[in-house]
């Protein structure tokens, strides 16, 4: 079913070892994946063994499985898909009020 979606934005929770890969290596692997037009990697936390990051990827018909495979080939680990936008256009999220 994912092949039929026009995936336009994904936000991933990705961990890197403190010893590598470098952010540039992960960004290059993502950028080489099908459908990716841009990516942003933000470091969210650092501990003695890992660097936690939020990875935002935008494009047209992004190959989600290909992106995950490319990231994991660098030695990084994808923990979760935290946001997905698909369709003919992007919809900006509106925070819910409780």
Q: What is the pLDDT of residues 53-98, one digit of tens each?
A: 999 999 999 999 999 999 999 999 999 999 999 999 888 877 788 8
State the average pLDDT for the chain: 93
CB 51 within 8 A of CB 16: yes
Q: Where does the pLDDT of residue 32 fall: very low under 50, low under 70, confident under 90, or very high at 90 and above?
A: very high
Mean pLDDT of all residues in 4-27: 95
CB 39 within 8 A of CB 30: yes
3-state secondary structure of 55: strand
3-state secondary structure of 72: helix
Tell me which H or E stretch contains 30: helix 23-31
Kindly tell me if the per-residue pLDDT of 50 is higher than 60. yes
Residue 73 CA to residue 63 CA, distance in Å, equals: 15
Sketch out the chain's domains with CATH numbers: 7-86 (3.30.70.1340)
Eight-state DSSP code of residue 21? -
């Amino acid at each position: 079913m994912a092949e039929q979606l026009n995936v336009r934005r994904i936000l991933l929770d990705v961990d890197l070892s403190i010893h590598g890969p470098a952010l540039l290596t992960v960004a290059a692997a993502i950028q080489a994946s099908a459908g990716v037009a841009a990516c942003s990697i933000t470091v969210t936390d650092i501990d003695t063994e890992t660097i936690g990051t939020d990875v935002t990827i935008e494009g047209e018909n992004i190959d989600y499985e290909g992106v995950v495979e490319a990231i994991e080939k660098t030695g990084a680990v994808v923990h979760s898909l935290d946001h997905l936008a698909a369709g003919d256009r992007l919809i900006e999220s509106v925070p819910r009020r409780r």
